[in-house]
Amino acid sequence: MASEIRHSLLASGLLEARAYQLEAVDETLSGSTLLVLPTAAGKTAVAWMVMAEMLRRTDGWALMIAPTVALVKQHHDGLVEAFSGQGIEAVAMSGAIPAAKRQSMWGRSRLVVSTPQVVRNDVIRGVLDLADCCVLIVDEAHHTTGERGEAQVADLYLASADEPLILGMTASPGSYVDRVEDVCRRLDVDRIHIRSGNEPMLAGHLANLAIEELRVAVPVEIRELAEPFVRWQEGIVDRERRLGRYVMSGPITHAGLANAMERANSAVRRGESDAYRSMTQIALAMTLHHLINHLLCQGTAAARQFLDRKAGSEDVEKKSTKNLLRDARIRSLRKSLAEIGEIHSKVGAVRRLVRDRLRRDEEARIIIFATFRDSVGALEKALTGLQDCRPIQFIGQSRKSSAGGLTPKQQVARIEEFRSGSANVLIATSVGEEGLDIPTADLVIFYEPVPSEIRTIQRRGRTGRHRDGDVVVLIAEDTRDEGARAAALRKEENMHRAVQRVRRSLSRSAHLDLSNLDEFSVVDDEEVISAVDFVSSIREEHRPEIVEEDRAEEETRTTTPTILPPSTFRPRGQTGLEQFKSAPKREGAPPEPSPEASDSDTPAKTQTEPEPENQPENPVSIAQDLLALEESSLPDVPGSVIAADDRELNSAVVARLKALGAEVVIERLKTGDFRIGERILVERKTVRDFVDSLVDGRLLEQASRLVGAAPRSLILIEGEGLFHSTRVHPHALMGALTTLTLDFGIPVVTTKDGAETARFLAVASRREESMLDGLSPPARDRLEAVKPESWTDPVSQAAAGARQLRKRNDDDRAAARALLIAIPSVDDDLAMRLMDQFGTIAGLVWADEDEIRSVSGISETQVRELWRTFRAGGRINQ
């Protein structure tokens, strides 16, 4: 029989013995690892073995996170089977389970699989503690970047666990070095374990996968429909070329239009008068670009839905959208699309492929991937009624009420229908690309190629998992499909090179001694052998043979290479770095290398040479200054409590604060997004939100509420490109910032991203906690100015008085009445009626004159006296 892996916590006979999987287990148990294996190579089995061993070694619990609910369900079913009979029942967590119910579920099992958002939210709320988690498994680890939920969970785990161990698993980490480095940095991995499908140790275990490119001609009718918009777009781009803003050669591409938009933005900042028109025209060209690609690459149904969304979106009130929809060419196209059905040749090609496969094998399973939901709907309609074809859609959730998405429960149900055979053709968007293990899916059709190597690999990996499979990529001739396919292939070739480069830069080398496999054994033909012996025998079996050759001895001559001076390689008269004398060493600096170890062609300076006079010390960089300042001025204190509004849970800032060790509580804040201690209130806005609030008039209203809600308040703008907005002139943005700082007295802080925002808040909380101990006498005097009794503005005094009164219990109204009785002509009876009418002093201060006049029994003299008292230095003089 086939060889099987055994472990004390794994069901016997469940895993087929594969040496490369055991090697991956051995390496992971030595330290956090990024595992890169081809699809269907058994990454999940590696995760099971790692979890089993860590549960045996420790008293902790194991956590696996997966990006979708369907994938969580799949992993949960596998874990239940793998750990059956061991007294460990796996628990699955998702957002469909109410938070109150999840609280009792955590701790019920030592084996949990969940979506990352659930883990993040429950840790932030204090429901879940990751300190005892012995291993974190991150499936589809290429998502562990930026503000994704996987990255936030990794941050929280690394900050909580005493001895964290992370296994990140992916078949497609990315083709760019910086992206792979980002994944490794967020997971804090020590090693990368990578194997390619053509290695001898893997080749025998992977099913064959035939990939075919099927080129189809775009129907003449569709090209005729697209032609007016192609010419329209070309006219716009020709004008921008003459202006020097569209500079890329070749066919018009989205990248070229994006670059032209950046150039137009720069021209706006330089004050060029025609730049705004360029921005409008380039934006129109981008819309036309999408429309043309929908027509040529997707079909008439997708183009029709694209224009219908334009007409029904929130942007329909914008002048540019109105002008687009009013254009005679657009109106004519919409009329034509409404009268014809789907005529794109891709749809016919899909029908033929599905029909031929089902004729050969009635039990076949087919997956069709399409980028747009409109195409998914058109394909389902086209396949309905085809003999033996039972199509079903598989799309993601929808955040728009008008769009018909699937709930997580519905997604799981549809996967089960496909798996059981109730449906045999699954038409999916990108939500079906990752991780789903459908054993009998033996044909995958790409309705269009995607330029992303990650999505290409994930799509392709849905077949050939357990038996030979086929992949067919549909390419519309003379369209962007051809460029997208070429880009995906090029990036896929670069992927392994990028991963290997990052792998070599990591601090830990590969773990090869198999010392972590002592508890694993392999049953081979009913003979039980140790996993170490099994892997060693497989290594020996695949060890390359050394061919002995009788080579004639070559005469070797040892020569000393001639070292040319640097001046040889630069223009005559140009100064070189070696001509500058080095600065004197700072005290405590490491010693300079000896002359013998130096590669420089200049003679080393001897100790007897005199130092030049008046030579300045080496400058210290600004970054070093800031680092030194923070280290010197931030004592080791826990920091003030940071209260975060519960609507900020999805921003990733809260998770990063927890990872930085800040004490965070979640509550509903009436004003602002974060409160630091009792004194500082922070309103966080992204660049887009700041621009939106300025456009719709909310900004100044929010500033008014913010300034009276805390002694110290500030607005934090997160993101880059504030002055690059196409919606607001830079002068208007500058005016808004000036108003906030000078008129309202609210500081404005800018940060690059959520990580920088969290760091700022953490530093601010520590300073707030420790500032009194480190203040100089002048600073203490300045601090007194923020106390209510030192405020000179009557409105501010009244608001501060109201805040202080609210902190008291029994004498609130008595103190307020005493404050009002101090005003001439206001007696105790009138003070009572004023408090009944307005509730607080602040309410009275901001009341209109007519509102004061409406108080029962008040005279005109008393109205004028109150008005003069509160408005003498207030809004009237402003």
Collapsed DSSP state (helix, strand, coil) of residue 491: helix
Residue 875 has pLDDT above 50, yes or no: no
List the one residue out of 4, 8, 5, 3 whose CA is nearest residue 519: 8
Residue 134 has pLDDT above 90, yes or no: yes
DSSP 740: I
Q: What is the pTM of this model?
A: 0.66
CATH of domain 633-784: 3.40.50.10130
In this prediction, residues 150-178 reach a mean pLDDT of 89
pLDDT tier, 136 (very low <50, low <70, confident <90, very high otherwise):
very high
Residue 699 has pLDDT above 60, yes or no: yes
- The pLDDT tens digits of the residues spanning 523-537 come to 877 788 888 888 888
Q: Residue 842 phi/psi, 5° resolution? A: -60, -40
CB-side neighbour CA atoms (13 Å) of 206: 23
**pLDDT score of 285:** 93
- As annotated, the residues of the chain forming the CATH 1.20.1320.20 domain(s) are 219-339
**pLDDT score of 458:** 59
**pLDDT score of 313:** 72
114/809: higher pLDDT: 114
pLDDT tier, 155 (very low <50, low <70, confident <90, very high otherwise):
very high
Collapsed DSSP state (helix, strand, coil) of residue 712: strand
d(Cα 313, Cα 311) in Å, to the nearest integer?
6
Which residues is 523 bridged to in the sheet? Answer: 4, 528
Burial-class residue 360 by CB neighbours within 10 Å (0-12, 13-18, 19+): exposed
Residue 745 has pLDDT above 50, yes or no: yes
- As annotated, the residues of the chain forming the CATH 3.40.50.10130 domain(s) are 633-784
CATH of domain 219-339: 1.20.1320.20
CATH of domain 349-478: 3.40.50.300
Largest CA distance in the chain: 120
Cβ atoms of 297 and 480 within 8 Å: the answer is: yes
Residue 582 has pLDDT above 60, yes or no: no
Residue 809 has pLDDT above 50, yes or no: no
- The pLDDT tens digits of the residues spanning 187-200 come to 999 889 888 766 76
Q: What does the CA dihedral 351, 357, 363, 367 come to, rounded to 10 degrees?
A: -60
In this prediction, residues 808-832 reach a mean pLDDT of 69
- The pLDDT tens digits of the residues spanning 299-320 come to 888 888 888 888 877 677 788 8
- As annotated, the residues of the chain forming the CATH 1.10.150.20 domain(s) are 791-871
What the block records as the tokens of 179 is 């992206």
From residue 289, how far is each of 190, 303, 484 by CA, in Å? 44, 12, 15
In this prediction, residues 579-587 reach a mean pLDDT of 51
**pLDDT score of 305:** 84
Q: Which amino acid is at 618?
A: N
**pLDDT score of 456:** 64
pLDDT tier, 593 (very low <50, low <70, confident <90, very high otherwise):
very low
Residue with tokens 């183009």: 303
Which residues is 664 bridged to in the sheet? Answer: 642
* 3-state DSSP of 289-340: HHHHHHHHHHCHHHHHHHHHHHHHCHHHHCHHHHHHHHCHHHHHHHHHHHHC
Residue 601 has pLDDT above 60, yes or no: no
Alpha helix ranges (H) inside 29-161: 43-57, 69-82, 99-105, 116-124, 149-160
Say what percent of the chain tops pLDDT 70: 76
Say what percent of the chain tops pLDDT 90: 20
Structural domain 791-871, CATH architecture: Orthogonal Bundle (1.10)
358/803: higher pLDDT: 358
pLDDT tier, 354 (very low <50, low <70, confident <90, very high otherwise):
very high
- As annotated, the residues of the chain forming the CATH 3.40.50.300 domain(s) are 4-206, 349-478
CATH of 4-206, one of 3.40.50.300, 2.60.40.420, 3.90.79.10, 3.50.50.60: 3.40.50.300
- The pLDDT tens digits of the residues spanning 333-352 come to 999 998 888 888 998 899 99
**pLDDT score of 118:** 93
- The pLDDT tens digits of the residues spanning 429-482 come to 876 555 555 555 678 888 888 766 555 665 555 554 545 568 888 999 988 888
Residues 6+ positions from 550 with CB-CB distance below 8 Å: none
